[in-house]
Amino acid sequence: MNRKTPIYFGPPLVHLTEDQKNTMEISGKLNRTAERYMAIMGEAGLELDDNELNCIREVCDFGFMAPYEIREMPIDVRLSRYEAEGFDKELLAVKLEEASMVDLVAVVEELGF
């Protein structure tokens, strides 16, 4: 059992737990959701080389990315100034366009954004 930690319930957590009536129900919902999320993240993602990851890091460098910003990563890659030997910006943009939202979220999460 982990220690209790106060957390801020922003709009997504409020929405997720709105039907739960007590602390145990809320805790259960959060823990089930987190466990499922971790399972999804463990199986999702894209195979990207170091240059592709570095370009995405540069694109994401401003910090937190909202879902709409994650979906717009192909545009951001095309507009980025990142260059490296052997790196094909357009190929990365196409990979990102063809990826599922789950795979895009996994990439962003893996990079810590």
| Boundaries of every domain in the chain | 11-43, 50-110
54-111 confidence digits (pLDDT tens): 999 999 987 888 999 999 999 999 999 999 999 999 999 999 999 999 999 999 999 9
Q: What is the pTM of this model?
A: 0.84
Which residue, among 91, 69, 66, has the nearest Cα to 78 in the 3D structure? 91
Token digits of residue 6: 């106060």
Q: Which residues does 40 contact at the CB level (< 8 Å), separation at least 6?
A: 102, 106
- 44 touches 102 (CB < 8 A): yes
Question: Which CA distances in Å does 101 have to 46, 68, 106?
Answer: 11, 10, 9
**Predicted local distance difference test score (pLDDT) of residue 107:** 96
At residue 3, does pLDDT exceed 90? Answer: no
